[in-house]
Amino acid sequence: MILGAATGPSLTVQPKIWLLFLVSVLIFLALDLGVFHRKPRAVAFVEALLWTTLWASLSLAFAFWLAPAMIGPAWEAAHTKLFITGYVVELSLSMDNVFVIAMIFTYFRVPLEYQHRVLFWGILGALVMRAVMILAGAELIERFHSILYIFGAFLLFTGIKMLLANDEEVEPEKNLIVRLARKLYPVSNEYDGQHFFTRINGRRALTPLALCLIMVETTDLIFAVDSIPAIFGITTEAFLVFTSNVFAILGLRSLYFVLVGLLRHFRYLKYGMALVLVFIGFKMLVVIWENRPAWLNFESNHDAVLGIIGMILGLSIVASLLVPKKTKAVTQKQ
C-alpha cells in the first residue's frame, strides 16, 4: 500500500480490459456525434436529463456489474466503493467547470445549436489530456511515494483559495493559447455554421467557435490540475482513477445542459467543493501522524470517506436552497 492513499486492495487489470474499455468509450462517442447529434440543434432540458440519468446509470452498472464481470475475482467490493467515491468527487468538481463553460459560451455568444459540438470535441480533448496526466501521475507515485504529500498540500492550498476567492470573469484575450492562435491564424468575426475553420479572401481562418473550443480545452486543463490530485487522494489504482474520470467527463456534456440554468441557484456548491478538496488534502497528509486516533484512519475506511464527501456536497446544496439570497438595498435620493 502506498503511503497516504486510500488504495484498498491492489487491482491488476490486463491490457485487453483497458483496450475493451477504451474501444467502448470511442464507440459511444462515435454514436453520439455521428447518430444522435449529427445535425446541429439545441439540446432540450428533458433530453439532457435523460442522458445524464443514462450516464449515471452506466457508471453504477460499471462499478457493480460490468467491471467485476470483466476483471473477475481481482475486483473486490472495496474497488466498487473507491470507484464510486472517485466518480462523485470528479463529477462534483466538474460542476464548477460547467459554470465556467457557461460563461465562455455567453462571452462568445455561441448559438445553442452549436454548444453540444464544442462540448463534444472539448471533452474528447479532455479525455486525452487526463489520460496523459493520470498515467504520468501514477508513474510518479510508483517511483516517488512521497509526492502524495505534495498532492495533499496542493489540495489544501487550492481548497482554501477557493473558499476565499471571489468569482472571476472569463477573459479570453488574456488566455495565452487564444492569443497565440490569433497570431498564427486570422480569425473571422462571423460564425460559419458549426465549423471551426472558414475562409477569408481565400485564406484559411478560425471561427469564433474555434476560439471558444480553445478556451474550453484550456479551462479543463486548469481544472484537471485540481481534480487529478484529488482522485489520487482516493485511490492510486490507475484503472480506477481513469475509468471514474472518464465516466464523469462523459456525463459532463448532458450535465451541462441540465445545470446551466440551475447552477446559479446553488451558490454554496462552490464552497462545498472547496471543502471536499480540503478534506481530501487533509486525508492525504494526516498519515504523517503515526499515533493518530482510529477515527482518522481514512485509508482503510472507504465508507466514511464517501459519506463525508456526500455530506459536504449535500449540505452545500441544501444551504443554497434554504438560505435566501441577499438583495442589495435600494436607496432613494432625496
Output the pLDDT for position 19. Answer: 93
- pLDDT per residue as tens digits for the range 173-200: 777 778 888 888 888 888 888 889 998 8
Reported as type and span, the H/E element at residue 200 is strand 197-200
Parse the chain into domains and list their residue ranges: 36-166+219-290+299-321
Q: Is the pTM of this model over 0.75?
A: no
Low-confidence ranges of the chain (pLDDT < 70): 1-9, 33-38, 40-42, 95-96, 99, 165-172, 259-265, 290, 295, 297-302, 324-334
The residue among 141, 124, 166 whose CA lies nearest residue 22 is 124
Which grid coordinates belong to 8? Answer: 484498498
Q: d(Cα 4, Cα 48) in Å, to the nearest integer?
A: 38
302 class by beta-carbon count within 10 Å (0-12 exposed, 13-18 middle, 19+ buried): buried
Output the pLDDT for position 223. Answer: 75
Question: In this structure, are residues 303 and 295 in contact, taking their beta carbons and an 8 Å threshold?
Answer: no
Output the pLDDT for position 4. Answer: 41
In three-state secondary structure terms, 207 is coil
Reported as type and span, the H/E element at residue 127 is helix 112-143
Question: In this structure, are residues 29 and 124 in contact, taking their beta carbons and an 8 Å threshold?
Answer: yes
Output the pLDDT for position 332. Answer: 44
Q: d(Cα 303, Cα 57) in Å, to the nearest integer?
A: 20
- pLDDT per residue as tens digits for the range 241-272: 899 988 988 887 777 777 665 655 677 777 88
Residue with cell 464481470: 69
